Amino acid sequence: MRSNPCIIGDKIPFVHNIICILYIRIQEAIMYISKFRKGNAVMLSALAFTTLFAGSAAQAEEAEEAQVYGLEAGVAYDLDLDGDGTTEQFVWQTTEKELDDTETTRQAVLDLYVNDSQPSSFIDDYAYMWRMDKGTLADGRTLLFAMSISDNDYSEQVLALTEKEAGLPFQSTDLAKLSRTEGEVPNHILSGWARGVTFVRSEGDTFTVRWNDTLSCAGIVSVDLDYQIDEATITQVDQPGILDETKTWTAWQSFSVKTDVESGQEAFTVAPGDTVSLLQVVLKNGMRWILCRNADGAEGWFADPDSAVWEESSDGMHWGYFDEAHFAG
């Protein structure tokens, strides 16, 4: 078993990345076609170009669809931002500014408008654009999410925005700073490649959002985290991240499951071909631990490797611990 530093997390292609792929494939096709006789080259070139363009166009369309979020830029929405029972007209815009600075070549600017006034703007020096989504808190206020997007669909900032009073600037909290690891050693429950988010629900003074994260054992997973909100601040609730327990994972290698986090006592062993459900993830002393349940209903914890693992065998390449593990990057 070896670690692979090239596996770096979920990457969703931009449309302009698809265009670059198209260009490269066409060049490869031309080199291949040049080996044939001139009479066949024209026909083969046309066929190759048509096939490559059609496939890449389909990929581009899928990429466009993947980038659609709950709130569309430039569209007016009637939202109850402050929870007073009356809606306000909300519009947002995202623009990219090209800069001459040697360290910063661009800025993604987010402008927010409420009833034709502009209470807030946000800037990210490392992003191309912003996306926005929303949810409704238990007290009736609209909770806005603003995500600055950089290379490979990475969310640089994940801002939760609320309006305390009409006309005042939005109060903002970067959920990424609360929940996402910065640096090589895990210091938050999410890895450094986590991105998102999607609003799930709100109860009382808490709300739940769903992140897309990457576990070394399982690849790309969804993780639900709870946050507590009051009039001025948002904090992450100190509890496990919830995984999708409805998904079945089939092990391709053996690993030991313990009775508790950091315990030396074995609860059971997962053998190749065994199926499990992944239930929760916690962080303890810089290590992520995952709660799983086997087909017999027994539960226990195992440590997520500190880097992605892979192994080549006679039946192909295996990634992580499970056949269903999917990595991109």
pTM, 2 dp: 0.77
One-letter amino acid for residue 166 of the chain: A
Nearest to 301 by CA among 309, 292, 310: 292
More confident residue, 121 or 3: 121
Per the CB < 8 A criterion, the answer to whether 158 and 137 are in contact is no
169-193 per-position pLDDT tens digit = 999 999 999 999 988 778 899 999 8
Checking if the pLDDT of 135 tops 60, the result is: yes
More confident residue, 116 or 296: 296
100-114 per-position pLDDT tens digit = 665 667 799 999 999
Per-residue pLDDT band at 236 (split at 50, 70, 90): very high
245-266 per-position pLDDT tens digit = 999 999 999 999 999 999 999 9
Token pair for residue 181? Answer: 């690891």
Residues in contact with 272: Cβ distance below 8 Å, sequence separation at least 6, in sequence order: 251, 252, 253, 254
What are phi and psi for residue 265, nearest 5 degrees? -90, 125
38-60 per-position pLDDT tens digit = 334 433 333 333 333 333 344 33
More confident residue, 187 or 67: 187
Helices (H), the chain: 15-33, 38-66, 175-179
Quote the CA–CA distance of 225 and 237 in Å, as a whole number.
8
Quote the CA–CA distance of 198 and 94 in Å, as a whole number.
19
pLDDT score, position 312: 81
Nearest to 219 by CA among 110, 321, 86: 321
pLDDT score, position 316: 78
Per-residue pLDDT band at 313 (split at 50, 70, 90): confident
CA atoms within a 13 Å half-sphere pointing along the CA-CB vector of 15 = 11
How many distinct helices (H) and strands (E) make up the chain?
3, 22
CA distances to 88, 186, 278, 313 from 215, in Å: 41, 12, 11, 22
What are phi and psi for residue 303, nearest 5 degrees? -80, 135
Average of per-residue pLDDT values in the chain = 81
